[in-house]
A and B are shown apart, each in its own frame.
Chain A
Amino acid sequence: MKKIRVLVAKPGLDGHDRGAKFVARALRDAGFEVIYTGIRQTPEQIVSTAIQEDVDFIGLSCLSGAHNTLFPKVVKLLQEKNAEDIIVFGGGVIPAEDVEYLKSQGIKEIFGPGTPSEIFINFIKENAK
């Protein structure tokens, strides 16, 4: 069976990569194939990497407050490239009221600070096709 592939990405200018690096490593330890983009990626770069690497999921991390602009842009670009089967989830410093908005824009799930790794690992297992 093909291994589940996940792209962990840091959109925008935010340099707080502690969470993204932890998620990447925890997913790797859970047996997924993980690609981490490093910081300061544009939504265009993230989508192009995701398609090139043929990933099943994109995990977006943002702690700068720009999530409402950047996360939906990734989903929109995926749709434009006919790659909307890639599931997008996210995390960071994201107020509760923004979570609803982001979900309405096609982000499947938002994980707040302090989320145990088994929760996002299970999310991926349950949503993998």
Chain B
Amino acid sequence: MEDKNEILKEKERWENTTAKKSLEKFPERKKDFKTFSNIPIKRLYTPADTEFSYIKDLGFPGEYPFTRGVQPTMYRGRLWTMRQYAGFGTAEDTNKRYHYLLKAGQTGLSVAFDLPTQIGYDSDDPMAEGEVGKCGVAIDTIKDMEILFDGIPLDKVTTSMTINSTCAIILAMYIAVAEKQGVPSKELKGTVQNDILKEYIARGTYIFPPEPSMRLVRDIILYCKDNLPQWNSISISGYHIREAGSTAVQEVAFTLANGIAYVKDITSAGVDVDEFAGRLSFFFNAHNNFLEEVAKFRAARRLWAKIMKERFNAKKPSSMMLRFHTQTAGCTLTAQQPENNVVRVTLQALSAVLGGTQSLHTNSRDEALALPTEQSAQIALRTQQIIGYESGVCDFIDPLGGSYVIESLTNEIEKSADEYIKKIDEIGGVLKAIEKGYIQNEIAQASYEYQKAIETKDYIVVGVNQFTMEEEPPKNILKVDMEKEEYQKDKLRKIKTERDNNLVKEKIEALKKVAKTDENIMPAIIEAVKVYASIGEISNALREVFGEFKEV
């Protein structure tokens, strides 16, 4: 290898001669180039601009610090799981969409629940008015879950469920439905989001105050450790933090800071870190700045590995492995010229693949307008299949590793995220930082700056602030009509008359008793869902015991 000083000397010569001559005639497009995270971009990256030790900082795939990927052969063995987030209307409607997606070659399910289900209201609750089945499927009782997975063998598919404050209830229903199908818990594979901290920061589907909420998260993780050993009991999510307007660095920093809080909480309860850390999973966003995104995934992997090893003294490699799902950035989709979104999604998805994702959701072109139609959902899935089978990138492990730019950005993102985590430590941890509004304010500021950059055209969005045109309003938008709400309410009413209501009362009382102790809450919830207690009834019982959180 050439001497670093020699390269620097040569680079300076190039700056002062060849580059300078060109710049006099053709000035650059901008005075300062920087990434979304405000990382300054140099004119040129050379080996001398990138500090890393190959063995220590990059290493080998499947080995610490996992910079090059968590599996030894990455996609040369198996492609990522193509997992499209879907759910709308009733369980009947959504079951039909799942069969369609599985037939189209999707390899895993991902359930979107409507907001009442996520916030613990039955479909006939006044708070649910207008929201039933709107941005996901409505689930009131285990009956709906049976319909949702009708004809789908739960020992064959893996299922991811975006559910947080009512996670224990939905997971209990899933376990009970599997049991009815004859599938024991220990064979179940999938993921629950179960990440309440980012709900307070960015997503907003909290119910209870932080302390009992953290207890629910812990109970689920520990229940899964003993009963669902193949289940990912949490998906620590940066996705929504990014959607709320954070930078890439903030996404990594706040997500890993939340991860630290969960690991600390569980180890403080006396559980050895290596007993559960292997089942922690993560969820990131794939945004527009292509190279910064690829570097972001690599940086997150390396930083988490170091945190687990150095801070928590993890011993097993699987405890240090950051396995993650990715979704392309919903906030980058435009309502203007929506067909262009297919191209945006392709680039974002490619960044996730080059960054080594374990599973991927690609957004549909029409999602700035409504939920996707069947055809839009199909194009989104085909986008993944084209990257996976046609582009050739999957034959290489970490193909951008060693690039001067990528390694330099990976270092920068890791360093800046680590600084944020230190700052949060100084504040007293994530819960304190949320309570003080520190994290929310950092995100709001970044979001405001991003939006201003679009308004001043510092950042160009094709079809929005440049290359605009007159368009017809798009046709073929998916509509969830109000009849669905009535249908769902009727179904619930019927169940409430047909079930054994004394038994429901008994199980709810038993649950409340457990909620007041520090016993694991999962078994009591499983008992309650099996006798058709509804999500609203169970949530209300817990509201009585835990209280409710109000945004300040």
Interface residue ranges, A against B (CB under 8 Å): 12-18, 21-22, 25, 38-40, 42, 63-66, 68-70, 93, 95-97, 112-114, 116-118
- Cβ contact within 8 Å between A114 and B127: no
Interface residue? B79 (CB, 8 A):
no
Beyond A40-B204, A66-B134, is A22–B477 a contact (Cβ under 8 Å)?
Answer: no
In this complex, what residue of A is CB-closest to B447? Answer: A18
Residue of B118, B129, B245, B370 with highest tally of chain A CB at under 10 A: B129
CB of A114 within 8 A of CB of B370, answer no
Q: A22-B447, A96-B473 in contact; A113/B204 too (CB < 8 A)?
A: no
Are A97 and B335 touching (Cβ within 8 A)?
A: no
A18 to B330, CA, bound (A): 12
Determine the distance from Cα of A26 to Cα of B244 in the docked complex, in whole angstroms.
16
- B368 to A65, Cβ gap below 8 A? no
Residues of A close to B451: CB separation below 8 A = 22
Cα separation A13 to B331 with both chains bound (whole Å)? 19
B204 touches A39 (CB 8 A): yes
Nearest chain B CB to A70 CB, angstrom units: 5
**Nearest chain A CB to B546's CB is how many angstroms away?**
17
- Nearest opposing residue in chain B for A44, CB measure: B126
A21 touching B447 by the CB < 8 A rule?
A: yes
Determine whether the beta carbon of B448 is less than 8 Å from that of A22. Answer: yes
Q: Does B119 sit at the interface, judged by CB under 8 A?
A: yes
Contacting pair A114 B334 (CB below 8 A): yes
* Chain A residues within an 8 Å CB radius of B115: 12-14, 64
In the complex, whether B336 has a CB less than 8 A from a CB of chain A is yes
- The CA of A14 and the CA of B130, in the complex, are separated in Å by 11
Bound Cα distance A96, B243 (Å): 24
Residues of B within 8 A of A18 (CB): 243-245, 331, 447
Residue from B135, B243, B461, B473 whose CB has the most chain A CB atoms within 10 Å: B135
Least Cβ distance of B86 to chain A in Å?
15
Q: Who on chain A is nearest to B88 by CB?
A: A65
Given A18-B331, A93-B370, residue A114 in contact with residue B461 (CB < 8 A)? yes
**B323 shortest CB reach to chain A, Å:** 26
**Inter-subunit contact A65/B371 (CB<8 Å):** yes
CA distance A129 to B499 in the complex (A): 58
CB of A11 to closest CB in B, whole Å: 9
- Shortest Cβ distance from B335 into A: residue: A113
Task: Report the Cα distance A39→B127, complex, angstroms.
Answer: 13
- List residues of chain B with CB under 8 Å of any chain A CB: 115-116, 118-119, 121, 127-131, 134-135, 199, 202-205, 243-245, 331, 334-336, 368-371, 444, 447-448, 451, 455, 461, 464-465, 473-474, 477, 479-480, 482, 551
Shortest CB distance B166–A (Å):
12
Complex Cα–Cα for A25 and B448 (A): 8
What does DSSP make chain B's interface, helix, strand, loop or mixed?
Answer: loop
Which of B131, B244, B368 has the most CB atoms of chain A within a 10 A radius of its CB?
B131
B473 touches A97 (CB 8 A): yes
A13 touching B116, Cβ below 8 Å: yes
Task: Tell me the complex Cα distance, A113–B370, Å.
Answer: 12
**Nearest CB of A to B212, in Å:** 19
**How many angstroms from the CA of A70 to the CA of B92 in the assembled complex?**
26
B130 & A69 in contact (Cβ 8 Å cutoff): yes
Asked if A65 and B335 sit within 8 Å, CB to CB, the answer is: no
**In the complex with contacts A17-B204, A93-B369, A93-B370, A65-B473 CB distance below 8 A:** no
A64 & B205 in contact (Cβ 8 Å cutoff): no
Q: List 24 A-B contacts (CB under 8 A).
A: A12-B115, A13-B118, A14-B115, A14-B135, A15-B204, A16-B243, A18-B331, A18-B447, A21-B447, A22-B447, A25-B444, A25-B448, A39-B204, A65-B371, A68-B482, A69-B130, A93-B368, A93-B369, A96-B473, A114-B334, A114-B336, A114-B461, A116-B465, A117-B455
Q: Are B119 and A95 in contact (CB under 8 A)?
A: no
B464: A residues at CB distance < 8 A: 114
A12 CA / B135 CA spacing, docked (Å): 12
Checking A12, A17, A93, A97 against B131 with a beta-carbon cut-off of 8 angstroms, the contacting residue is A12
Distance between B200 CB and nearest chain A CB, rounded to angstroms? 10
Q: Is the CB of A95 within 8 A of B551?
A: no
Contact of A66 among B131, B334, B474, B479 (CB under 8 A): B131
Nearest-CB residue, chain A, relative to B240: A15
**A39 and B461 contacting across the interface, CB-CB below 8 Å:** no
In-complex Cβ contact of A68 among B119, B130, B135, B448 (8 A): B130
Residue of B nearest to A37 (CB): B551
Assembled-state Cα–Cα distance A95/B373 (Å) = 13
Q: How distant is the Cα of A16 from the Cα of B199 in the complex, in angstroms?
A: 11
Given A12-B115, A42-B127, A65-B371; A114-B134 close (CB under 8 Å):
no
Contacting residues, chain B, for A22 (C-beta < 8 A)? 447-448, 451
Q: How far is the CB of A96 from chain B (nearest CB, A)?
A: 3
Which of the residues A14, A21, A25, A39 comes within 8 Å of B551, measured between beta carbons? Answer: A39
Q: Are A70 and B130 in contact (CB under 8 A)?
A: yes
Contacts of A66 in B (CB 8 A): 129-131, 134
Q: Which residue of A lies closest to B443 (CB)?
A: A18
| Chain B residue contacts of A113, Cβ below 8 A | 334-335, 368
Q: Name which residue of chain B comes closest to A69, CB basis.
A: B130
